[in-house]
Amino acid sequence: MQGLTEREFREIRELAYRSFGLDLRPGKEALVNARLARRMQELGLGSLSEYVEAVKADRTGEELERLINALTTNHTGFLREPQHFALLREAVLPPLARRGTIRIWSAGCSTGEEPYTILFTAADVLGAERIGTLQLLATDISTRVLEKAQAGIYAKERLEGLPPGWAQRYFQRGEGRWEGSVRVKPEWRARVEFRRLNLMEDFSFLPRFQVIFCRNVMIYFDKPTQERLVGRFTDRLEAGGWFLIGHSEGLMGIRHGLDYVRPAVYRKPAGAGAAGRRGA
């Protein structure tokens, strides 16, 4: 596959932005070229323009998902950015434990390590009697990573550094051909609702949450897209709800209706209704 022409890069850039908000800036031509070359060869296509038309023509959406998977990176891990889980344990969950239903959303959950870490942290805080009050939604645009998340199978090395007792309480050790792997126990997998969701599409049908995690997702979006998305997330937060983003991200330069708490942590003001707007 030869290097991309300017027109081909523009076509793939417009398709990615329109379909799932990905902001492919100039300078990413080599990355796009490398990541799509194998798929184009499999399809017997000679140009990126042909590939763009193939994606558009595929009514199943499978080719678009292949494109998404090729152009984005699903890097995650248990207890990634552990400050957020310490906050959940120490400041967020204890007050909520005295209430009724607790709703938490992991948006952009990838292969599941984030929502499972949320679940296990909540189980430690709430205990066996109250864990049933937790409703945990985990969404991603990719059905491929959602299948892995629902399966809950990981290399046992991924458990290194977890709190004492987590491995025994929440995981099964693989045997036979699964030697070297672990799996989240079925009773814990059943406590997470995994669902496909493209964040560029409407999600106003979702309930309001006390906590929304959307970490290391908005790095793929431009400022206007980030601003619209944060406003829509804010609308899905209860008053006083928490919004957690990646530490490599920030809301500087976009208008939003959230109060800054600390790096990568924001709250919806108590008594706030629909999403407001303020300078960050």
Residue 134 in contact with residue 119, Cβ under 8 Å?
Answer: yes
Question: Which amino acids are annotated catalytic?
Answer: 35, 140
CB burial of 140-165 (b: ≥16 within 10 Å; e: otherwise) equals bbbeebbebbeebbbeeebeeeeeee
29-43 and 48-57 are packed helices; what angle lies between their axes, rounded to 10 degrees?
A: 70
CB burial of 253-279 (b: ≥16 within 10 Å; e: otherwise) equals ebebbbeeeeebbbbbeeebeebeeee
Pick the CATH number of 83-267 from 3.50.50.60, 3.40.50.150, 3.40.50.1970, 3.30.70.270: 3.40.50.150
Exposure of 172 in the CB half-sphere (CA atoms within 13 A): 13
Global pTM value: 0.87
- pLDDT (tens place) for every residue of the chain, 280 residues total: 456 788 888 888 898 898 888 888 888 888 888 888 888 988 998 888 898 899 989 888 888 888 888 887 767 889 999 999 999 999 999 999 988 899 999 999 999 999 999 999 999 999 988 999 999 999 999 888 999 999 999 999 999 989 999 999 999 999 888 999 999 999 999 999 999 999 999 999 999 999 999 999 998 899 999 999 999 999 999 999 999 999 988 898 899 999 999 999 999 998 765 544 454 4
Residue ranges covered by each domain of the chain: 6-71, 83-267
CATH architecture of 6-71: Orthogonal Bundle (1.10)
The two tokens of residue 273 are 């209704």
Residue 248 in contact with residue 275, Cβ under 8 Å?
Answer: no
Q: How far is CA 271 from CA 83, 93, 274, in A?
A: 27, 19, 10
Tell me, what's the pLDDT at 169? 96
The two tokens of residue 148 are 């892995």
Distance CA 89, CA 201 (A): 32
DSSP 151-204: HTEEEGGGGTTPPTTHHHHHEEE--GGGTTEEEE-HHHHTTEEEEE--TTS--T
The two tokens of residue 169 are 């309480």
Q: What SS3 class is residue 11? A: helix
